[in-house]
Amino acid sequence: MSEIPTSPDPSPAAGPRPGARPPADSADSLSSPDARGGLRPPVADGPAALEEPPGQVSPTGQLAAAAASEQPAHPAALEQLERVAEAVSQHIDEVNRKAGRDLPAAVLVGLGLIAVIGATLLWWKDGFALLIMAGLCVGVWELNQAFRSRDTSVALPPLLAGGAVLILGVFEAARGLLPWSPAEVALSAVALTAVACLIWRLPGGVEGYVRDTTASLFIIVYPMLLGSTIVLMLADDRGAARIVLFVLSVVAVDTGGWVAGVLFGRHPMAPKISPKKSWEGLAGSFALAAVVGSGFGRLLFGFDWWQGFAVGAVLCVVGVLGDLVESAVKRDFGLKDLGRILPGHGGVMDRIDSYIVAAPVAWLTLAFLAPHV
């Protein structure tokens, strides 16, 4: 505590007159007993009033110390963390650039699709058939939008109605619930849908008639007729197992090709159609598809190793070709993706392109290798 200045008079007798009231700012009045019996603390004037008692910090001093303490205690460590975060972000951007997609979103959407497909396969086969029908109808709508970008008008209502009848009719006929065979149902549905599309376009006149009806007939076959063989596999006694082997093999084709292409891709396989496809990616697709086909073929059907290998190898070839077919369609339209309904994947057609072309070959291959399984 700073000392209080005293009077220059050294006489101890000096003091206030009897009965006189001391000045309000005198040191004696500040140190005299107050009404509560205690001593009032003396208050200094001038700069001494801002000083703090030794060992004590006022609230104002505490706030000042807290503000000063907000400076980084370890600026070097924080700078290092920022560099690491920036490097990770750049690496993710580079992977997304090579993959041509938003990888985190693609993974999340892929996991969701796997969950839905697995649940319907295990507990509700009719629901899986409805899922295939809905996905193919969305694909028809996406192709319709692509054709419209080229001033081509397709017969969308007949295509949607005929496609739904085709998918569900083939499925029910294969289960023996209709008096016709699956082939009869498929042929009838495609033929009647084609007739409906030709008639639907007549009111539009002759200008562009061949162009528009040809586009509609293209959609009947791709994706509807090719996709109907998926439910044809499903209707067998071991239909769920056939679908699992088919789906996992095609997933292996896509995954193996993507990983190998991102890590090792140097030599383009089809630069005019899909510049990101590489021969290294094809090798990765073949290797992983062969392993998955052999392993799950043995597990699900008791195949010899060469049978599962054959399934994986065949589906690798047609799966990659199916992807190239989709790429050719998109490049002809001048589009990167046919839709945006699936984040990280694009549209439904962008996701199922390999499956549509591979499905008929998978059905024939499994029918040959396991006709009674």
pLDDT tens per residue, range 14-61: 444 544 455 444 444 444 444 444 444 454 444 444 444 555 555 555
Unique residue bearing structure tokens 């081509």: 152
Nearest Cα residue to 312 out of 255, 248, 260: 248
Write down the pLDDT at residue 212.
96
Quote the CA–CA distance of 171 and 230 in Å, as a whole number: 9
Q: Which residue has the higher pLDDT, 322 or 94?
A: 322
Kindly report each contact of residues 29-36 with a partner whose C-beta sits within 8 Å and lies 24 or more positions away, as own/partner: 30/4, 31/4
Tell me: the pLDDT tens digits for 222-245?
999 999 999 999 987 788 999 999
Quote the CA–CA distance of 188 and 194 in Å, as a whole number: 10
Query: 336 vs 221, 271, 273, 331, 373, CA distance in Å?
Result: 22, 15, 12, 7, 41
> Looking at this protein, which amino acid is placed at residue 157?
P
CB contact set of 174 (below 8 Å; sequence gap of 6+): 182, 231, 232, 235, 236
Domain-by-domain residue ranges, the chain? Answer: 101-369
Unique residue bearing structure tokens 């997609």: 101
pTM of the model: 0.70
Res 353 pLDDT > 50: yes
Write down the pLDDT at residue 195.
97
**Do the bridges between strand 268-270 and strand 274-278 make them parallel or antiparallel, or are there none, so unpaired?**
antiparallel
Q: Which residue has the higher pLDDT, 337 or 255?
A: 255
Q: At what angle do helices 125-148 and 305-333 cross, to 10 degrees?
A: 30
Report DSSP letters for 146-204, one per residue.
HHHTTT----HHHHHHHHHHHHHHHHHHHTT-SSS-HHHHHHHHHHHHHHHHHHHTGGG
Quote the CA–CA distance of 289 and 32 in Å, as a whole number: 97
Q: Do 147 and 174 form a contact (C-beta atoms < 8 A)?
A: no
